[in-house]
Amino acid sequence: MIKFFRNIRKSLLSEGKTGKYFKYAIGEIVLVVIGILIALQINNWNEKRQEANQEKITLSNLNDEFQDNLKDLDSINERLSNQIDALEHLYSMFSEEENQYASKTLDSLLGKVFSSETWRPSEFVLNDLKNSGGLSKLNNKELKKLLFQWTRFYNQMKETAMHTEERSLDIIKFVKIHGSLRNADALNDSFPYDRSELNIDNLSLLQNPQFENYIGDKLFVLHEAQALSIEAKQLINRIVLETSVD
């Protein structure tokens, strides 16, 4: 094609048709520019199509990740609710008078007090999106805002979980000194040993104001964790909605 145009230009010059030559040359340049613009437009269209397809894949992956996290959170919330029930039961047992409760009843509750529910949601897709700079490229502004909110909110949840763990350790340390961890652990299926043969009973803890404070302190933090979990579920549901791909 280029050789064809070159031959036409040579023919015009040889015939002395300079005016027609320049007009033809300009027309040829215009055609070349138009061809380049069309090629650029096609290339831009292909890039946008690829970006749109990649965003659909990213949204689908985010949706799957947060759907799984939502299932895990529901399971954690159920266990958290059971633990709060156990602590509230224990909290109601404190009395200065001689206690009428059975030792095994108290030990069973203590076993639930020692544990701390920890939720570790998957953040692989979200972190990959942040590290690659893909988060800022998302077209959905509402989704970007929700994902930024999620990062801050989850950091708050992790801080509360750390406080819960600290309260659990305080209680365990206290029982180590003033009670019997063995008697509480003996009711756990993973602890293959019988109750202590020593003359020790955890019922005395129910007349100790310091132990009552420890239980109340953890109960306070657990209620805070439960409230955060409810907010987390609401936020995740909004993210799942925004990442739903038709």
Domain of residue 154 covers 70-242
Residue 41 lies in a domain: no
Q: What's the pLDDT at 157?
A: 94
**Total Cβ atoms within 10 A of residue 183:** 22
What is the domain count for the chain? 1
How high is the mean pLDDT of the chain?
A: 83
User: Do residues 96 and 207 make contact, with C-beta atoms less than 8 angstroms apart?
Assistant: yes
**Residue 50 placed within a domain:** no
Residue 209 falls inside a structural domain? yes
pLDDT tens digits, one per residue of 130-180 = 888 888 888 899 999 999 999 999 999 999 999 999 999 999 999 999 999
In a domain, 55, yes or no: no
State pTM to two decimals.
Answer: 0.76
Does residue 92 sit within a domain? yes
Report if residue 53 sits inside a domain: no
Closest to 219 in 3D by CA, of 95, 90, 120 = 90
Q: Is position 104 within any domain?
A: yes
Among 118, 119, 121, 117, CA closest to 67: 121
* 27 in any annotated domain: no
